[in-house]
Every structure is written in structure tokens, then in C-alpha cells.
Amino acid sequence: MKKFDYYQPKSLREAYGLMEKQKGEARYIAGGTDIIWRVKQGLIQADALISLRGIEGLDGIRLNGHLTLGSMVLFRTVERSADLARACPSLAQAVSVLANPQVRNIATIGGNLCNGAPSADCAPPLMALEAVLTLEGPGGKREVPIGAFFKGPGETCMDKTEVLTQITIPEMAADSGAVFLKKGRVSQDISIVNAAALLVMEGKVCRKCRLVVGAVAPVPLRLTDVEKMVEGQEVGPELLDRVGNRVEQAVSPITDVRSTEEYRRALSAALVKRAIQQAHRRALKR
């Protein structure tokens, strides 16, 4: 393993200064559960790692209508937050089945997104909830809809000098339901497929639908064509059958050590249909 320097700045300004000193050849590190493994495997070459753990203001959860999460919030903190469970039940579901308790004690929500993994469990619920990400760097601050954040496997829209500082989730509408589902080879495994749904109902008719699947495309995939099929309709068996057929056509999975392309395609349809059904039930109970 290549030797590297390790820094623990106390402010974002100090972190930016260190990155500029390293001429972009350093990497920011959050919980470190993924990047340290990649460095050891030689998949990432970095002259230095700059830890964000000691920077104040990146680890809070604030609920004021909308929900704001600091990027350095630990999964364990998310898992234990009653406010978050009420405001964003699908995100709470995703975190509760992510990896194992040891990982959730040190991994962060921002790190899960910044890895750019197509299978990242936090991405589908946040995309369905239309979260907005705040990115900050030496050049200032900008806000990016999460749907525009992912660019490819392991790639995001972030500049090397930028830090993801917070995630803002709009308040869920009345008569809405949100759900996250995943399937791995075994419990606590990386997703073979994951899926999230948000439904806003108006009586028996779906007024708004957001559907996202992960691990079946180069980036977490929003199913906009399928959403249009559901909106303005009553949720029932005939609609769900058509949804399943369209999902199988929309995804572009691969065969790897975890699953075959054929199984992922069929599983995507099954999970999306199930997520719609469960989100529909939740919406009717609110």
C-alpha cells in the first residue's frame, strides 16, 4: 500500500487549504469504511487523506418543516432519531438495513452518497424524496438536486476541492407514503437491487409518484416513465402488472458476482411493485 499523509482539520477553510496545498491529489474522508479499503487495495491513489470528522457543524439533524442532515451524521444517529423516522420513514428503513451495526457506528450519510456507488442504499429514498445537496468549496457554495449528483459508477458532479456539507429533504405532503426495500444475497450485504417509492394520494387517485431503483444502472435510476403511468391512476393489480413490465424494460443491470442480469431485471420489477403497494398503504393511513 502506498504511504499517505493524514490530516484532521478543524474547519472547512483549513480543509480547503490542505487540499490546495496537495494540488488536488488528496482525498477527503468521512467515516472511512469504504475509502480506506480502496486505498489498501490500490484502487485509489492519494498523497494524503483529509478527515472531515473534526469539523463542527457537519453532524447535526434539524427538523423545521423540511429536514436538514449534516453530511457527517453517523448512520447510527440516523437510526436512533425518532424525528427522522417520522419525517422520512423510507430513509430510516434504508439506514436500518445498511451493512451492520459496527459499520453504522462509524459510517456517514454523506460518505455513502459521495462514493457514487450505483447500489448506495441512501440514494433511492433521498432521490424519491427530492433531496437537495449543498456542496461547498474554495469557490463558494452551490445546491444540487440529488438526481443530478451521480454521473457514473464512482463518479459524482463534485469538484475534487468540494465537500458535501448538508442534505435538505422537503417536508412530505399530507396523504403521502414513502418506502424503501432492498434485496441482498444475505442479511447486511450490498444490495443486489434496492428500490424506493413516494406516493401522494388524492382520495383513491395517485397525485404524485416518485420511483427510484439502485444497482441496475450506472447510477441510481429514477423511473420517470413509470411514474407517469401511476400518476392520475388508482393503484390496483392491473396497473401494477403494467408497472412491472415497464420497469423490466427501463433498467439496464449487469451480471456480476452478486447476481445475474436476468434476476436483477425481474427483481427490480417485483421490488418496485411491492414498494408502490406499501407506499400506497402508508399514504392511506396518514
* Residue 160 within any structural domain of the chain: no
Backbone angles phi, psi at 24, to 5 degrees: 75, 5
What residues contact residue 163 under an 8 Å CB cut-off, 6+ apart? Answer: 12, 15, 28, 52, 71, 135, 136, 137
Model's pTM, two decimal places? 0.94
What residues contact residue 149 under an 8 Å CB cut-off, 6+ apart? Answer: 113, 133, 156, 157, 158
* Residue 214 within any structural domain of the chain: yes
The CATH number of residue 47's host domain is: 3.30.43.10
Distance CA 31, CA 9 (A): 15
* Residue 20 within any structural domain of the chain: yes
Output b/e per residue, 76-88; b: 16+ Cβ within 10 A. Answer: bbbbebeebbebb
| pLDDT tens profile 231-273 | 999 999 999 999 999 999 999 999 999 999 999 999 999 999 9
* Residue 35 within any structural domain of the chain: yes
Give the residue from 51, 71, 89 where a domain finishes. 51
Q: Output the CA–CA distances (angstroms, integers) from residue 168 to 31, 52, 71, 198, in the order listed.
A: 20, 19, 10, 16
The CATH number of residue 259's host domain is: 3.30.390.50
* Residue 226 within any structural domain of the chain: yes
* Residue 103 within any structural domain of the chain: no
* Residue 246 within any structural domain of the chain: yes
Q: For residue 163, give the C-alpha cell.
A: 465537500
Enumerate the H helices of 35-88 as residue ranges. 35-40, 75-80, 82-87
**Tens of pLDDT, residue by residue, the chain (286 residues):** 567 889 999 999 999 999 999 887 899 999 877 776 676 666 667 788 999 999 999 999 999 989 999 999 999 999 999 989 999 999 999 999 887 888 888 999 999 999 999 999 999 999 999 999 999 999 999 999 999 999 999 999 999 899 999 999 999 999 999 999 999 987 668 999 999 999 999 999 999 999 999 999 999 999 999 999 999 999 999 999 999 999 999 999 999 999 999 999 999 999 999 999 999 999 998 7
* Tally of structural domains, the chain: 2
* Residue 63 within any structural domain of the chain: no
Domain limits for position 194: 176-285
